[in-house]
Structure formats: C-alpha cells, structure tokens
C-alpha cells in the first residue's frame, strides 16, 4: 500500500508540475488535469490489481519453493539414511573380515596347541614307559594242575606284571612294544610217573617244550626262549599231557623285554 501511495504521489506531482504553467490561466487545462487524475485513478486501480496478482503469484511461488525445499530435505535425509546403510554395510564387512581373520588365527593357535599336546603326550608316554622299566612279569598257579591235558595254563597268581601285558584271565601275554623278549617257565611233576609236558606258543605256533617226569622224586623241568615280537603278538604256555603238576611256589611263567 505504501508503495502504491508513493507511486501515486509521484505521478500527481509530475502532472502538477507539467501543467503548473497553465494552471491559473485556463479552465480547459484544469479540466484536463482532472481528467488526467481520473485516468491516474484508473491506472492506480489497474496497478493495484496487478500488485494483488503479483502478491498471489509470490505466495504461490513461496509455497512452491517451500515444498521444493521439503523435497530436497527429504532427499537429503534419504541420502543420509543411504549413506548410513552403506557405512553400516562397510562396517559389517570389515567386522566379518576381522572375525574371519580371528577365526583363522584361532584355528592356527588351536593346531599349534594340538601339536604341542601330542608332543607332550608322546613325551609323557615315553617317560612313563622308561619310568616303569621294561615290560616284565612273573606269574604262577595258585593251585596244582591235575589231569590238565592239552590246555593253556591260566597262571592266576600274579607276582609281577609291569606294563600289564600278561592277562591273568586268559593266561596270554600280548606284546605291547616291538622287540626281543625272554620267556622262561618251569613245572614240577609229582613223583610216581605223574609227568607233565608244557609248550610255549607264539600265536598258534608251538615252539619249545619242557618235560618233567616224576620218578622216585618230584621233578622240575624248565625251558627258556628269546622271541622277537611285534605289537599284538601273543605268547602263552600250554600243556600236552599233564597228570599232576604242583602249583605255587614251584611252577612259574616269566617274561620280559630286553
Ligand atoms: C554421503 O556420502 C558421500 C560420500 O561419502 C558424501 O560426499 C555425502 O556428503 C554424504 N551425504 C550425506 C547426506 O551424508
Ligand atoms: C606305566 O605306569 C603307568 C602308571 O601305573 C601306567 O598308566 C602306564 O600304562 C605304564 N606304562 C607301561 C608301558 O606299562
Ligand atoms: C587280574 O587281572 C584283573 C584285570 O586286569 C585285575 O583287576 C586283577 O587284579 C588281576 N589279578 C591279580 C591277582 O593280579
Ligand atoms: C599274532 O596274532 C595277532 C593277533 O591276531 C596278530 O596281530 C599278529 O600279527 C600275529 N603275529 C604273527 C607273527 O603272526
């Protein structure tokens, strides 16, 4: 409004100054002036309308700018979210790589530990074998063998069984470590023809024999063998005909690693 008033004033002044020379002398001049004022009024009206339109236009433009700004803001927000998502994705990949590296280095450590554990176990086993001395046993039968024919002798009385290679239930020695072994056994047959044959077996092979034949007195018989054994090889004593053989402490079966 102020702007319009100023324009109006300026225009009026202009008209007044342009016509000031004729103002006091002629009516037609004054009348013209009045007409011109009317014209000006009309123009002012037009101007006012124009101004109204212009402010409407400005308002609409303002609104458009405002909504455009909001769109941009939204896009920026979206971009921000997108950036964050990308950042999170990058971080996740980084973490994945790191945890993969960690897993692989853990695996390496675990493998090293396994190797160390195995070495320790081997060393302990070697040490225990050495500390226990050689594999060695001496066993006997707690009672006499009477008519014990063609059967394995179960020496049930265990005096020594270092390394536990002799089984007191089956009567079989099972080789736990490869090498040379000495085996010796003895029988004592009762007098009056109560003889006893005893063989040593390596797996199913019959090897040396002892033969006691009691005549006027009881008779002791024995034999000794050295066998080169592999792990799992079995050794035992088995009788042929054995009519009467005294038990502990006369009869025995011993073996040891050399
Ligand atoms: C998105 O990331 C790019 C590159 O890292 C950066 O130039 C831009 O400014 C970021 N935009 C926002 C909205 O954070
Ligand atoms: C040595 O003795 C230990 C403890 O009694 C036993 O666990 C280990 O089996 C023995 N080693 C041998 C070879 O007999
Ligand atoms: C016979 O062997 C079993 C099992 O190995 C054992 O428990 C038992 O003590 C042994 N008997 C003797 C008399 O050594
Ligand atoms: C003896 O028998 C055991 C058990 O069957 C077997 O592992 C081993 O190889 C045999 N040894 C020989 C010399 O035949």
Q: Can you give the pLDDT at residue 121?
A: 86
How remote is the CA of residue 14 from the centroid of ligand 2, in Å? 130
How far apart, in whole angstroms, are the C-alpha atoms of residue 255 and residue 207?
15
Is it the case that residue 191 has pLDDT exceeding 60? yes
pLDDT digits (tens, 9 = 90+) for 97-112: 999 999 988 999 999 9
Burial class (CB in 10 A: 0-12, 13-18, 19+), 208: middle
CB of residue 44 inside a 6 A radius of ligand 3: no
pLDDT at 197 over 70: yes
Q: Residue with the nearest Cα to atom 4 of ligand 4?
A: 232
Element (H, E) at 93: helix 27-131
Q: Residue 37: CB within 6 Å of ligand 3? A: no
Express each pLDDT in 60-83 by its tens digit. Answer: 999 999 999 999 999 999 999 888
Give me the pLDDT at residue 4, please: 66
Kindly report the CA angle at 95 between 92 and 101, in degrees rounded to 5? Answer: 145
What percentage of the chain carries pLDDT values higher than 70?
87
211: Cβ–Cβ under 8 A, 6 or more apart, which residues?
195, 196, 197, 198, 221
Query: Which of helix, strand or coil describes residue 149?
Result: coil
Ligand in nearest proximity to the CA of 161 = 3
Question: 248 pLDDT exceeds 60?
Answer: yes
Domain boundaries, the chain: 1-131, 136-257
Cβ(254)–Cβ(186) below 8 Å: no
Which ligand gives the minimal distance to the CA of 86?
1
Q: Indicate if ligand 2 lies below 6 Å from the C-beta of 214.
A: no
Round to whole Å and give the CA distance between 166 and 189: 24
136-257 CATH pick, 2.60.450.10, 2.60.120.40, 1.10.10.60, 3.90.1260.10: 2.60.120.40
């Amino acid at each position: 409004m102020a702007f319009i008033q100023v324009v109006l004033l300026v225009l009026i002044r202009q008209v007044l100054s342009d016509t000031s020379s004729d103002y006091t002398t002629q009516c037609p001049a004054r009348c013209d002036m009045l007409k011109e004022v009317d014209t000006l009024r009309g123009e002012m009206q037009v101007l006012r309308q124009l101004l109204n339109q212009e402010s409407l236009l400005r308002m609409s433009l303002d609104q458009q700018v405002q909504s455009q700004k909001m769109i941009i803001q939204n896009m920026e927000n979206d971009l921000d979210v997108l950036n964050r998502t990308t950042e999170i994705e990058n971080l996740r990949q980084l973490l994945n790589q790191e945890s993969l590296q960690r897993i692989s280095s853990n695996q390496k450590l675990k493998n090293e530990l396994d190797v160390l554990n195995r070495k320790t176990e081997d060393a302990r086993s070697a040490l225990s074998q050495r500390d226990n001395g050689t594999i060695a046993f001496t066993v006997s039968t707690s009672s006499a063998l009477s008519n014990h024919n063609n059967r394995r002798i179960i020496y049930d009385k265990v005096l020594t069984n270092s390394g536990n290679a002799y089984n007191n239930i089956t009567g079989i020695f099972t080789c736990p470590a490869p090498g040379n072994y000495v085996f010796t056994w003895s029988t004592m047959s009762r007098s009056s023809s109560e003889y006893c044959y005893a063989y040593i077996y390596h797996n199913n092979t019959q090897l040396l024999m002892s033969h006691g034949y009691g005549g006027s007195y009881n008779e002791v018989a024995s034999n000794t063998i050295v066998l080169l054994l592999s792990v799992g090889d079995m050794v035992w004593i088995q009788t042929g005909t054995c009519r009467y053989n005294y038990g502990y402490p006369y009869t025995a079966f011993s073996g040891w690693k050399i």
